[in-house]
Amino acid sequence: MLISGYRTSLAALILLAAALTGCSDGKKTPSPSAKASSETTTATATPEPTYAAEKAKSALFDVKDLGKKWTEEGLPDAFKEGKVRGCSDSKIALVGSPRVWAQKFGAPRFRFEGVNYAQLVSVHLTADQATASMDRIREALAKCPASKKIPQKKLPDDRFAYQHDDTWKMTEGDVLGWRHVRGFEKSVYPPSLSRINVFYYSIDYAQRGNIVFSSIYWQRVKPKDSGDPIAEKATEILTEQLQRFG
């Protein structure tokens, strides 16, 4: 009986050892966690694209893409200088010396209740420079106050910027693989100037690879009108434009 019990215990120990080593044929089987770790280590990130300057320029909207009776108009002040517009009509310079193209369009009656749309594309030598430009833009926008009173001031060419109150909101995320920041601004002018005294601005900034793109979609409306349709249309146009860059 003692010999029989010993043999049974020995067999049990052999089976237990085999189970603990996880092998019956001398080959080790990696654990799921080890396999996943190996796959993660060998995976490589997809590099961001490099855009040719002339190709980026040719991908921009044309006036006929926006609608009937739209016209080409003079550029916003920031775009004239190869900069992007920040809050309260401020200007943000890009990093380095990118190649820049800008254009501005107006819908019928754009000076009164029609829509205005402007866009700028900057093509940098490297993706790092474009990223640095986007970082600078984001940092400047994050410092914009939620509300601000703007005094009247004289502008070049005998123009005036009238006193008004600005409110500002910034959001950020991703659109079609592009890093995206949006500033949404409401400017309210004294009702004594006009019964159509509110402007909504949807200002977009997007970066991918060596491109930084910015657009401004804005409209003058009555005090009780919502800015939501303006933001929604700006999103629609931005998405189509980014798709055109590829």
On average, the pLDDT of the chain sits at 86
Edge to edge, the sheet with strand 164-175 lists 71-73, 99-106, 115-123, 211-221, 198-208, 178-188, 164-175, 147-150
Q: How far apart are the C-alpha atoms of 218 and 78, rounded to whole Å?
A: 15
- The token pair at 58 is 């040719």
Q: How confident is the model at residue 212 (pLDDT cuts 50, 70, 90)?
A: very high
User: Taking every pair of C-alpha atoms in the chain, what is the biggest distance, in angstroms?
Assistant: 115
On whether the pTM is more than 0.95, the answer is no
Question: 155 lies in which domain range?
Answer: 53-245
- Percent of all residues in the chain with a pLDDT value above 90, rounded to a whole number: 74
How many domains, in total, are found in the chain? Answer: 1
CATH code, domain with 208: 3.40.1000
Q: Is residue 48 part of a domain?
A: no
**Average pLDDT of the segment spanning 214-243:** 98
Q: Is residue 28 part of a domain?
A: no
Q: Is residue 100 part of a domain?
A: yes
Q: Helical H runs in the chain? A: 2-21, 32-42, 53-58, 63-66, 77-80, 127-142, 228-245
**Average pLDDT of the segment spanning 75-100:** 97
Q: Is residue 131 part of a domain?
A: yes
CA dihedral 85, 91, 92, 95 (to 10 degrees): 110
**What's the confidence (pLDDT) of residue 155?**
79
Name the 3-class secondary structure at 79. Answer: helix
